[in-house]
Chains A and B, each alone.
Chain A
């Protein structure tokens, strides 16, 4: 398959990078929960959890950039770059694409505030970081709704796994967090 701005090559790339972004985000959410839960074992120190969480998040941003890039450059659908950040700015599958834009904005907020955490102060950073629990489901909805790979068995199975893990992690986080109480 030769590369061209026309034809299915870029479309595959968009779908692939989108899926990888979702997987990386899932990994990041799980590691975030493990950080808050102070997970550690003999072979797995805590700084590894937080370090991986950071790296996976940054990789997710990188793959998101590729995902957005391949989408915009693809001449099959005329989706402008602004549609990646501003909801309702494309006529192609407007609702689902807008969800993607929202997820993208939320992710950028999370990552940028984390990069300048030292200047922001812990309390502000923490309040913003809770939107991670909004970002992931919105990204997932975008992926499911945009509809291209819903019917593929292995993609579906992968998605179900991601949902199950994040749901379990989030539940555990909120249950133990509520018990620990406000300090």
Chain B
């Protein structure tokens, strides 16, 4: 069971909390919007990722469970 992050770019207004809470995966571009280094979330960062998803003020950060069979 893999977990993948993605950003809804329309909902995102560049608050930047995700980058503060998950700097290993999320960095901010010069305009304050998140760049995901890779969509996959390693197991040891799963809790941090959940916290980042929860902290987003506009619910723009999404995490999907992807079964290993697909892609």
Q: Give the residues in chain A near B39, CB-CB below 8 Å.
A: none
What 0/1 pattern do residues 15 to 51 of A give for CB contact below 8 A with B? 0000000000000000000011010100001110011
Contact B59 A46, beta carbon cutoff 8 Å: no
Asked if A127 is at the interface of the complex by the 8 Å CB criterion, the answer is no
Asked if A117 is at the interface of the complex by the 8 Å CB criterion, the answer is yes
Asked if A121 is at the interface of the complex by the 8 Å CB criterion, the answer is yes
Contact B59 A47, beta carbon cutoff 8 Å: no
Q: For window 15-65 of chain B, which residues contact chain A by CB distance below 8 Å?
A: 15-17, 20-21, 54-55, 57-59
Q: How many A-B residue pairs have CB under 8 A?
A: 30
Q: Give the residues in chain A near B20, CB-CB below 8 Å.
A: 45-47
Q: How far is the CB of A125 from chain B (nearest CB, A)?
A: 8
Contact B15 A122, beta carbon cutoff 8 Å: no
Contact B17 A47, beta carbon cutoff 8 Å: yes
Q: How far is the CB of A36 from chain B (nearest CB, A)?
A: 8
The number of chain A residues with a CB under 8 A from chain B is 15
Contact B55 A118, beta carbon cutoff 8 Å: no
Contact B16 A46, beta carbon cutoff 8 Å: yes
Contact B15 A118, beta carbon cutoff 8 Å: no
Q: CA–CA, A117 to B58, complex, Å?
A: 10
Chain A: which residue is nearest B62 at the CB level?
A118
Contact A121 B15, beta carbon cutoff 8 Å: no
Q: CA–CA, A183 to B12, complex, Å?
A: 12
Contact A122 B59, beta carbon cutoff 8 Å: yes
Q: Give the residues in chain A near B57, CB-CB below 8 Å.
A: 35-36, 50
Asked if B66 is at the interface of the complex by the 8 Å CB criterion, the answer is no
Contact of B15 among A38, A51, A117, A183 (CB under 8 A): A38
Q: Give the residues in chain A near B54, CB-CB below 8 Å.
A: 118
Contact B11 A46, beta carbon cutoff 8 Å: no
Contact A50 B59, beta carbon cutoff 8 Å: no
Q: CA–CA, A121 to B57, complex, Å?
A: 11
Q: How far is the CB of B16 from chain A (nearest CB, A)?
A: 6
Contact A117 B59, beta carbon cutoff 8 Å: yes
Q: Give the residues in chain B near A51, CB-CB below 8 Å.
A: 55
Contact A47 B55, beta carbon cutoff 8 Å: yes
Q: How far is the CB of B45 from chain A (nearest CB, A)?
A: 15
User: What is the interface of chain B, defined by CB distance below 8 A to chain A?
Assistant: 11, 13-17, 20-21, 54-55, 57-59
Instruction: Please name 12 pairs of A and B residues whose Cβ atoms are closer than 8 Å in the assembled complex, sorted by A.
Output: A36-B57, A46-B15, A46-B16, A46-B17, A47-B55, A51-B55, A117-B59, A118-B54, A121-B59, A122-B11, A122-B59, A183-B13
